[in-house]
Structure 1
Amino acid sequence: HMLLLVWPNCKKKKKTSQIYQPPVLNLEALPETRSLFAPLDDVHLLSNGLLQLGQSMREFVQKTKGQINTIFQKLNIFDRSFVRLAALAGEIKEGEEELKQTAAVLNTHNEEIKELSKKISVKMESILQEKGQLLNKVEVMEEQLSSLSVDLVTVRQVAEIDSLREVMQRQDQSINSLLAAMVEQGRHLDHQTMKIKLGRKKYSDYFFVCVLLVFTTTLCFCLYFPFFFFSVAFFATDFPSDCSELFDRGERANGTYAIKPNGSEPFMVFCRGATVIQQRRDGSMNFDQPWEKYENGFGELQGEFWLGLKKMYSLASQGNSVLHIQLEDWKQNRHFIEYRFYLEGPESDYAIQLEYLSGSLPNPLSNHTGVVFSTKDRDNGRHWASRCSHPQSGGWWLSSCGDANLNGVAIKRRLNESTAASFHTLINNPPL
């Protein structure tokens, strides 16, 4: 507190008789003044509040930063998913374009076949009419001949009858050739129908990604599928169970055909009187393939190929199967071996059952009965490269190291030697 001294005004007066009074300090008249600084308790309280506010702000900033990082991670995941989805959509679009091109080509071929079928039908009707007329003429001539004696038959009439018979024979040959051509056209229609079914099945797995693309493809098929249905119904053809049945129907030409074993979907095979399940000629195809390839098949049916364990199982499951192996060396010496053949299913790793029937060579597969199939990435028989002194190659029923393996490495000859070794493995299902 400050003390303020107040002095009264002193003026020079005339001397009087009054007694002099000293100045007096008036404490009651002093006003109370306030300090310019806050109290210490208020300062502590304010500093604690500011400290808590700073900590809350820091926690809020850290929490916000974590949420922002989480958002960025989700955005990155979304970007990757979008990129994968875009790539998948591109693949589907490419597949759709390829399928459209194939459908356009097949549609063109179908139109040509349709026109050819119409021409054949018109030609056949004309031939049938001519045949009917010739038959009527022959009947008239025969009636005339029957009413006359043999001596009265002139040479001219006999020549006319012979001429009519020759014309009828030629007409019969023309009819037979036309019927054969119609059957051939029907077979081609069946093959094209099979290709379309396989093409539709190839891209049906992408239906959940882009329904509109699949709908467009399906609509494209619907434009010409009614003609396929009419053609198949007209020629009354169905898929044979194997090449042996096709051979029994009178088909003698080697080539690719569609078959449908019992309980199986239709698929394409190469027929040589029997169903060819494996073919090697010049070593152009690499047979050192993984399990998936050996199970589903690989190669080209017109060249070197392996039909596939699944398809072989469907053929062997029909019973009474004969495995016929044909071999030819570089000197064109040919040999064969035949076995009674049965193949177990995928749950048993396609274990093979063989019974030797005949052959021009000693039995090289005598120890293969009950042996499971193995590949380089699935060693079911425990006889692959890591356990054998000589590395194995190609999938086969391996019972021990060094076994006969028809899918092994192909040994190629020198370039100046044009002949090559080859062999064919066939499954035949003769009737019981």
Structure 2
Amino acid sequence: MRRAPTASAALVLCAATAGLLSAQGRAAPAEPPEPPRFASWDEVNVLAHGLLQLGHGLREHVERTQGRLGALERRLRACGAACKESGASAAPPRAPAGLGPSGEAAPETLGSLQTQLKTQNGRIEQLFHKVAQQQRHLEKQHLKIQNLQSQVSLLAPMHLGHRMAKPGRKKRLPKMAQLAGPAHNISRLHNGGWTVIQRRQDGSVDFNQPWEAYKAGFGDPQGEFWLGLEKVHRITGDRGSRLAVQLQDWEGNAESLQFPVYLGGEDTAYSLQLTAPVASELGATTVAPNGLSLPFSTWDQDHDLRGDKNCAKSLSGGWWFGTCGHSNLNGQYFRSIPHQRQQRKKGIFWKTWRGRYYPLQATTMLIQPTAAEAAS
């Protein structure tokens, strides 16, 4: 049985397209590397959609072919049975090519057709797998394109507040035996229209949660909790906001930071847009003059800026990861400092204050829309 030329052509086209996509980004050895070029989201989306459509077409072709073969086999078997019932007096019908004397399909013919179908099915499954991989890469590329676009036009120039701690000149509060200092600051911030969106203090809540949990929120508002990305986005809306971060180590030292931010919606992976002076606090290595956009990442939704690593899976918890090593206030809670360096990376840390390998004792995050600050 001859295979339909359209299915073969579609399979060749899909394989060539998938190979072309997987080969993107590899420069020829003899030529100098060209600057990275990002395709528009419309282009990559159309390409991915086309690949999926071709794959679905191939699968439908195989299913139709299998149905026809099954019907043909049933008809041939019925014909063979009818020929046997007609008696030996009637001359047996001439068997078509590829059929046995009894009217049934020759075993070698059916076997060959089944083998071809299995081979074709296997190739289609491989194609679907490659298309799914390319779709994941395209989604991550889309977020990187949004990041670049935000550096160009989304952020207006903003200035740090007078309470913002600048790198290298951070104010260290007096030593405290308990959390009295941060609690007092939180109470004062509440009076100014601030909303607590995160609290870590005793390790009673597991923060290594998937995307949907970080989107909806979890924990106990009276203890450790995460308010939820969607709730925070509703609080801030499309306005700029100020984020307050309060940190405490195990020696009683505390640090309080405030800086302007803008939180995008789920279509941007709840990207946290930062101005240039504070972007390095959350892991930016190179920052455009008007800021940086950091998408939120979890172990099951990888949106970080590292193309070779899933920061949330390598570390712990969900966070606005830049390059994995600058901050993570939703990491694993340690009641004592682990001896192994690799284990300490998974903890709660803010590198520019106590370093990446120092697990903090307590953290609190608060947010306030800029309009509310102006009205207060």
Structure with larger RCO (C-alpha < 8 A, sep 6+): 2
> Could you tell me the TM-score, scaled by structure 1's length?
0.33
Flag the structure with larger Rg.
1
Answer 1 or 2: which has greater helix percent: 1
